[in-house]
Amino acid sequence: MKQFKRYNTGLLAITLLLSLFFGCKDEETFAPVNPKAAFTYEVSSENPYEVAFVSTITDRDSLRWDFGDGGTSTLAHPTHIYDEVGAYALTLTAFGEVGSTPTVVDTTITIEVFDPTGDFSYSASTDDPQQIKFTASTSYAKSLVWDFGDGKTSTDKTPTHSYADMGSYTVTLAITGFEGTTPAMVTKTVAVGEVLDKLEGTIIGHEGSWDGVNGLIESAFDGDLSTIVDARDGDGGYVGYDFGEGNKAQIKLVKYAPRDGFLDRVVGAEIRGSNDLDYLTNYEVLYTISEEVPAGALSEAAVTATGSYRYVYFYSAPGGYCNVAELEFYGEMNPFDPGVIDMTNWAEVVNVQGITVDITASTISFSGGANDWPGTAIYQEVTVEAGTYKLSGNLTIDEINDNTWCELFFSTDAPQQGVDYSSNGGSMTQNGGLQVQYSTWNGSPKTTGTYDFSSVDNGGMNTAGAFPADGIYTFDAPATFYIVIKSGAQQAYDFTLNKLSFAKID
C-alpha cells in the first residue's frame, strides 16, 4: 500500500508539472471558436404577412432575431407576423462561448400582398347522392363564401351540403384576399344525384407480409377495419385493383382507413392510376394523402383527375409498410373517352345564319333551320400518333324535315367564314375526306330515333361517307388535321351527336 501511495503522489506531481507546462501553450493553441450562422425563410401561402424562419447555427450559446419592425425572438426557428407591407431590415445574431466574436447575418425582407387564388373539388356521399362534400384549396385567402346554387351559402373551407332535389347546380366559391387585392371567383356546374359505383377488380399488390401469415394484401378489401395490410418492407408496398383487359375506370372518390396506432404511416401515400403493364413505373398520381385521419372509420377523398385507368392502387408512403386497414374505390367503369377530341375546343364558322350549336362534355346539338338554307360548321385541329384509332358515336334525331344534313370530315383545310365547306380540295383523301354523312335526300331516316355511325341498312346514319364498318383507322406516321362537322336544314330540325370519340386503341 505504501508503494501505491508513493506512486500515486509522484504521478500527481508529474501531472501537475505537465499541466503547468502545457497550460502555458493552451492560451495560444485553443482560442475561442466564433459561431457560424445562416438562415432561410418562407412566406406563408395563406397569410402573406406571416414568415417562418429556420436558422442553421453552429458553436453558439444563444441567438437573437431582430425582425426589423421592433419584434424580436430568441427561438431557433421562429414565426413572425408583420403588420404592414414594406421592406424590413432583418438581423440574426449568434453569440458563442466567452471570448468569441458574435456572428451577425442580415438581409432585407419584403412583405407584399398577392391576389388570392383557388379552386375546389367535390364528391357525393356514397350513402346519399344528394349530399355533396366540397373542399377548397386556396392561396392568400382571408375569407371564403360558398354559393351552392340553391339559395344556401357557407363560409367553411370544407363544407358538406345537402340538396333537396337532384339536378345540376351552379356552385360558386368567392375568395377574398387581404386589403388591396382583387377577389377571386371559381364557378362549376355540379351534378347532384349521381350515384357512384363501388368498383372492384382483381386484387394486385406486393408479395408476402411482415410475418408471412397476417397482413396480406387481401386485408385491404375484406371489409374488416381491424385487419391491416403489413408489408415486409417499409418502402415499396402497394395494393389495388386490375380491372381487366379492355376495361378502364375513372376514380372519383377513394375511401381509406389507417392502421390503428400508426396513423402517420398513411401520410404521403399515393393513389395511382396506370394503363401500362409496368404500372409501378408508368403511372399518374391521382391523389396524395397529406394528413393523418382517424382509425376505425373510412375517410373520404375526392379525386379530381379525369383519366381512366385499368390499374388503380394505393402506394405506400416511405416507411409506411403499406399500412392501410381498408380501401374502397368509387367512380365509373369505362366512361366516355373522347380520345384526341377536346369537347371544349370546337371553333364555329357560319355559312348562312340560322343554326344553333350547343356543346356539352359528351354531346353536340344542332337546331334551327329556315327556307334560305342556313348552315354552320364546327371544327378543331387534332394530332394523332402512328397507330390505330377508332371513330365512334351516334346521332339522335328529335325533329326532322325533308331537307336536313350533317357531315363529318377529316381535312387538312379549316372551314372559312361564309363559305360552304365541302370535302373537295385539301381533304385527307387517304382517309376518304368525308367520313360520316346524314342526309335525308340521300336516304337517311326521316323518323326520330338514335342511329349509330356505322348504320347504313334501311337508310341509316351513314349513307355516303367513307366511315369503315368497324370505325378503325390506321396511321403509319403521326398526322395533324382537322375534324369538321357541318350541319344545316331548310326547315326546323333538332338532333344531337352523342359521345363523339376518336381514340387510340393500339
- Other C-beta atoms within 10 Å of 468: how many? 16
Residues 122 and 46 in one domain: no
Asked whether residue 6 is domain-assigned, the answer is no
Q: What is the per-residue pLDDT across 200-226, written as a single tens digit (0 to 9) for each?
A: 999 999 999 999 999 999 999 999 999
Residues 250 and 381 in one domain: no
The CATH number assigned to the domain holding 209 equals 2.60.120.260
Separation of alpha carbons 61 and 56, rounded Å: 13
Residues 327 and 423 in one domain: no
Strand partners for 62 = 95
Residues 205 and 309 in one domain: yes
Q: Which domain holds residue 102?
A: 36-111
Strand partners for 253 = 302, 330
Nearest to 131 by CA among 122, 143, 140, 121: 122
Residue 406 exposure: Cα atoms within 13 Å on the Cβ side: 28
What local confidence, expressed as pLDDT, does residue 260 receive? Answer: 96
Q: How confident is the model at residue 2 (pLDDT cuts 50, 70, 90)?
A: very low
Residues 147 and 296 in one domain: no
- Other C-beta atoms within 10 Å of 22: how many? 10
With 90 as the cut, is the pLDDT of residue 46 above it? no
Q: How confident is the model at residue 422 (pLDDT cuts 50, 70, 90)?
A: low
Identify whether the C-beta of residue 445 lies closer than 8 Å to the C-beta of residue 455: no
Domain limit, last residue, from 92, 111, 130? 111
Q: In sequence order, which residues have a C-beta less than 8 Å from that of residue 406 and are 6 or more positions away? A: 366, 395, 436, 437, 438, 439, 485, 486, 487, 495, 497
Asked whether residue 26 is domain-assigned, the answer is no
Q: How confident is the model at residue 315 (pLDDT cuts 50, 70, 90)?
A: very high
Identify whether the C-beta of residue 279 lies closer than 8 Å to the C-beta of residue 311: yes
Asked whether residue 311 is domain-assigned, the answer is yes
Asked whether residue 339 is domain-assigned, the answer is no
DSSP 133-159: EEEEEEES-SEEEEE-SSS-EE--SS-
Identify whether the C-beta of residue 96 lies closer than 8 Å to the C-beta of residue 32: yes
With 50 as the cut, is the pLDDT of residue 14 above it? no
Asked whether residue 364 is domain-assigned, the answer is yes
Q: Supply 503's cell numbers.
A: 381514340
Range in 79-93, 332-346, 403-417 the model is least confident about: 403-417
Provide the number of structural domains found in the chain.
4
The CATH number assigned to the domain holding 493 equals 2.60.120
Domain limit, last residue, from 71, 96, 111? 111
Domain limit, last residue, from 192, 215, 247? 192
The whole-model pTM stands at 0.59
- Region 117-125: mean pLDDT is 87
Residues 453 and 365 in one domain: yes
What local confidence, expressed as pLDDT, does residue 384 receive? Answer: 94
Q: What is the per-residue pLDDT across 354-384, written as a single tens digit (0 to 9) for each?
A: 999 999 888 999 999 888 888 899 999 999 9
Question: At 25, which helix (H) or strand (E)?
Answer: helix 2-29
Asked whether residue 9 is domain-assigned, the answer is no
Residues 104 and 243 in one domain: no
Residues 221 and 326 in one domain: yes
Residues 206 and 172 in one domain: no
∠ CA 501-502-506, rounded to 5°: 125
The CATH number assigned to the domain holding 107 equals 2.60.40.10
Residues 323 and 365 in one domain: no
Asked whether residue 20 is domain-assigned, the answer is no
- Other C-beta atoms within 10 Å of 435: how many? 24
Q: Supply 128's cell numbers.
A: 346519399
What local confidence, expressed as pLDDT, does residue 431 receive? Answer: 41
What local confidence, expressed as pLDDT, does residue 460 receive? Answer: 57
- Region 162-178: mean pLDDT is 93
Separation of alpha carbons 113 and 48, rounded Å: 6
Q: What is the per-residue pLDDT across 260-282, written as a single tens digit (0 to 9) for each?
A: 999 999 999 999 999 999 999 99
Separation of alpha carbons 443 and 78, rounded Å: 79
Identify whether the C-beta of residue 464 lies closer than 8 Å to the C-beta of residue 439: yes
How many residues in the chain?
506
Residues 179 and 269 in one domain: no
Asked whether residue 341 is domain-assigned, the answer is no
Average pLDDT, the chain: 86
Q: What is the per-residue pLDDT across 274-309, written as a single tens digit (0 to 9) for each?
A: 999 999 999 999 999 999 999 999 998 889 888 899
Separation of alpha carbons 282 and 238, rounded Å: 14
Residues 386 and 482 in one domain: yes
